[in-house]
Structure 1
Amino acid sequence: MDRRTFLRGSVVGTGAVALGGSLWASAAHGAPAQPGAGPYGPLLPPDGLGVRLPAGFSSRIVARSGRFVSGTLYLWHGAPDGGACYPDGDGWIYVSNSELPLVGGASALRFAADGRIRGARSILGGTNLNCAGGATPWGTWLSCEEIQFGQVWESDPYGRNGARARPAMGRFKHEAAAADPDRRVVYLTEDEGDGCLYRFTPATWGDLSAGRLDVLCAPAEPVTGPVTWQPVPRPEDWATGTRNQVPAARRFRGGEGAHYRDGKLWFTTKGDNRVWVYDAAAQVLDIAYDDDLTPPGSAPLTGVDNITGRPNGDLFVAEDGGDMQICLITGDGTVAPFLQVTGHDGSEITGPAFSPDGRRLYFSSQRGSSNSVASGVTFEVTGPFRGAA
């Protein structure tokens, strides 16, 4: 029996192996998300920048790797990856990682209230393969190194404070971080074929220099259901490695993006093309999307990667490869393409993040149309997003 047949029988059908989307249903979603018509309508032909968007939306390029950001003398970094937005007076800031070896780091674009670029700067340098990360409630950016024994670096989007390593958050192949202000913890994904999901509890909320690192534990089967957490004894231990200290740790097939909102953590795994949802209060794990749980040949979302969301419950999931799309998973469990970048077939979509007012979406094509880390393109999309301020 192949994986698709097994999962459809266990998750969608009998529920004998999995919860069958019960957590998804409790959040007014029903079963794991299925293909359908998106709320914004079909994608139109590519615009002048090669971006396919629904009617009423438009795109522009705000930065290109190796070129000066408009109106500045700042060269935009190569291989743009994870990103986030922050309020900045009457404007905002978009932060973007650089997934380059040895000279990675992160940069920030500053925007005026009318969307004009009014500055750009480095906020982190000299680090290694900075992939994804996450914003904190106190206004810093957690930039994650995707290398063996990598670290989380906490940096200041506003440029007031220097960046600092946070080794207490573990030494492993970091991918994304998502802060949970309700429980005062930070969740961390691991980009390994048998990666773990971690939870860091700072000794003092707002200070990540010390605290306790736990790893999620559960049997490999059932696929979903109740979970527990166990402490990692020595998170900074290079000899054993953070990921190998708790035998009961649950393994995931390539942890990618993470997003927290309203008591739930949403995270993606690329090896099985899943979006997971973890109910933090109930400590229950479920599947929000799996391409093997859609009708054969119908899955619009493949190559799951970075993920972000909106207050109305919509999730936006970027593709690493796939069809170079950002797909939307609605609150009622419908998955559909929201945008597509054409002519960038060797690239991946990275860093989706909304401006604080929800009216603009930022993202990058990491390697651009020439499939080179020196050819990344960072875009902005504007339009009638649901739930914008």
Structure 2
Amino acid sequence: MDSSRRSFIKNASLVSLGFVGLNHYAINAATGLFDTADLSIGFGPLSHQNGDTLSLPKGFSSRIISRKGQLMNDGLLVPGMYDGMGSFSTGSGKTILIRNHENSPGADLLGPFGEKNGLIHKINKSKIYDFGHGKDTCVGGTTTVVYNEKTQKVESQYLSLIGTVRNCAGGITPWQSWITCEESSLKISDGLEKDHGFTFEVPATEKIGITDPHPIKAMGRFTHEAVAVQPKTGIVYQTEDEGDSLFYRYLPNTYGKLHNGGKLQCLVIKEWKSADTRNYANLTTNHFPEKKSFEVEWMDLAHVEAPDSDLRLRGFKLGAARFSRGEGIWYGKNELFFACTDGGKNRKGQIFKYTPSKFEGTPEEKKAPGVIELFLEPNNVETFQNCDNLTIAPWGDVVICEDKKDPRVIGITPEGKTYVIAKNVGFPNSEFAGPVFSPSGNTLFINIQTPGVTLAINGPWKNIRKKG
């Protein structure tokens, strides 16, 4: 086992050990702040001063560390439309952030080359996955940021993937890379040079340079959102941002070598074929219950490059479970959590928990199947609204972002109780995205999609552990 994989598993274990015994911390329904009658969990009420970007608990502070349009170390501009993000250790105490940019073809003003792609001559065009015939150049991709926690400064940032479409979220791997996902089904017939709807792998490195853009086609072509990797097996779980989406897993032929091929599967609930988990008020299907575990099966999918973007339709017809806009996903130690942003009776969102089999991905898993449960469906605006990206905090709680006006960052305890960590007061019309803690656990990084800023939040994070 190499050191990066061992570190990944160790960190995941710390997360899961922390995910025990935390108590309820109520929210004041009128203000969205903490009920100060219960100080056993959370960090206290939020406050801010004029000019602050975030409203935060006492003792916490935030700073903008990167902005759209800044000149990067490679001579290009920081692109806009910030979205999902992952963090990695350099081994020397610094943090590498890899950040998605959810840009559409032809959005040159939001891209790294500026107006009319005036800076595009600075790179080798072979590094651009889809040049768009020079008319609608695809300017989605990723940037990499090297951050020094001691000085609280960015030491470098650079373009690390370009030529993709609507890079929404993704996920970290145990082998020190970021899987970035195209939330798109565009293809050559739409006037482009390549088909889209794939995942791409970006190495976490301080070395400035654009990675070669090779889609991992065996992981499927669909409206990708995010991924999470099981560290011991290398199995990749995938969400899909469609109103009638599936939940997928990819069994790679070789650990850590996703391009070497593998098997794409979708989740089926054993006792409830073609289950509809969305619970919309206007649906006539049976209600999918909260806090009930269901054993699952995994069904192989064929023709995974899906030129008709119909994987989810074919899968549901054959018995796969249906979800409402799968979004953020994160792996703990023995379970993973994923968000469905507009599921539920009032379409305010759902959080699901999947616990893999101890024989996950092998024929023996039929003896002890994995289980899925609807972990939380609050159906009220105080608990959360339209959960999007998520992560797991060092103390074990799930931390989610809201995709709505006046968005919040919210923690969720193992019992499903919620508390507010931050509120966007500087750019209240834009969503939060990409929450991720530094490897040390001392800094929470988060993006605000528009106008495009990355913030570092510091404070007494470890105090919450003392209250557990």
Q: Give how far 1:85 is off.
A: 0.5
Contact 1:358 1:388 in 2 (8 A): no
- Structure 1 residues 177-232: Cα deviation after superposition (integer angstroms, max 9, x where no partner): 00012343110000000011000010001000100010011232562522211011
Residue number in structure 1 paired with 2:117: none
Residue number in structure 1 paired with 2:306: 237
Secondary structure class of the residue paired with 1:227: strand
Residue number in structure 2 paired with 1:155: 202
Which of 366, 369, 374 is the equivalent residue of 1:287? Answer: 374
Q: Which amino acid aligns with 2:231?
A: P
Secondary structure class of the residue paired with 2:46: coil
Q: Give how far 1:283 is off.
A: 1.4
Residue number in structure 1 paired with 2:441: 358
1:206 aligns with 2:256: yes
**Following the alignment from structure 1 to structure 2, what is the Cα–Cα distance between the partners of residues 145 and 212?**
20
Secondary structure class of the residue paired with 2:47: coil
Which blocks of at least 5 consecutive residues in structure 1 are unaligned? 1-26, 368-374
1:378 aligns with 2:454: yes
**Following the alignment from structure 2 to structure 1, what is the Cα–Cα distance between the partners of residues 59 and 338?**
30
Residue number in structure 2 paired with 1:133: 170
**Following the alignment from structure 2 to structure 1, what is the Cα–Cα distance between the partners of residues 165 and 453?**
20
Contact 1:310 1:387 in 2 (8 A): no
Q: Give how far 1:330 is off.
A: 2.2
Matches within 5 A, 1:314-329: 314-329=397-412
Secondary structure class of the residue paired with 2:218: helix
- Structure 1 residues 8-46: Cα deviation after superposition (integer angstroms, max 9, x where no partner): xxxxxxxxxxxxxxxxxxx75799997575421111134
Structure 1 residues 178 and 100: CA distance shift in structure 2, 3 A:
same
**Following the alignment from structure 2 to structure 1, what is the Cα–Cα distance between the partners of residues 49 and 87?**
26
Out of 341-350 and 261-270, give the one that drifted further: 341-350
Which of 406, 412, 432 is the equivalent residue of 1:349? Answer: 432
Identity of aligned residues (%): 32
Contact 1:360 1:381 in 2 (8 A): yes
Q: Which amino acid aligns with 1:165?
A: P
Contact 1:227 1:283 in 2 (8 A): yes
- Structure 1 residues 130-150: Cα deviation after superposition (integer angstroms, max 9, x where no partner): 000001110111010000150
Q: Give how far 1:165 is off.
A: 1.2
Secondary structure class of the residue paired with 2:226: strand
Which of 109, 112, 118 is the equivalent residue of 2:145? Answer: 109
Q: Give how far 1:263 is off.
A: 1.2
Which blocks of at least 5 consecutive residues in structure 2 are unaligned? 1-18, 28-33, 36-40, 105-137, 186-195, 276-285, 344-348, 358-368
**Following the alignment from structure 1 to structure 2, what is the Cα–Cα distance between the partners of residues 205 and 49?**
45
Which of 40, 45, 53 is the equivalent residue of 2:43? Answer: 40
**Higher-helix-fraction structure:** 2
**Following the alignment from structure 1 to structure 2, what is the Cα–Cα distance between the partners of residues 233 and 68?**
45
**TM-score normalised by the chain length of structure 2:** 0.70
Secondary structure class of the residue paired with 2:229: strand
**Following the alignment from structure 2 to structure 1, what is the Cα–Cα distance between the partners of residues 154 and 464?**
21
Structure 1 residues 172 and 226: CA distance shift in structure 2, 3 A:
same
Residue number in structure 2 paired with 1:78: 80
Structure 1 residues 41 and 123: CA distance shift in structure 2, 3 A:
same
Secondary structure class of the residue paired with 2:57: coil
Residue number in structure 2 paired with 1:143: 180
**Following the alignment from structure 2 to structure 1, what is the Cα–Cα distance between the partners of residues 353 and 60?**
29
**Higher-strand-fraction structure:** 1
Contact 1:33 1:289 in 2 (8 A): no
Residue number in structure 1 paired with 2:191: none
Contact 1:307 1:318 in 2 (8 A): yes
**What is the total number of aligned residue pairs between the two structures?**
351
Out of 264-273 and 28-37, give the one that drifted further: 28-37
Q: After TM superposition, which residue ranges in structure 1, 4 or more long, deviate above 6 angstroms?
A: 29-34
Larger Rg: 2
Secondary structure class of the residue paired with 2:258: strand
**Following the alignment from structure 1 to structure 2, what is the Cα–Cα distance between the partners of residues 33 and 201?**
39
- Structure 1 residues 284-334: Cα deviation after superposition (integer angstroms, max 9, x where no partner): 111222122xxxx56231110000012431111001015311101123432
Out of 149-158 and 241-250, give the one that drifted further: 241-250
1:215 aligns with 2:266: yes
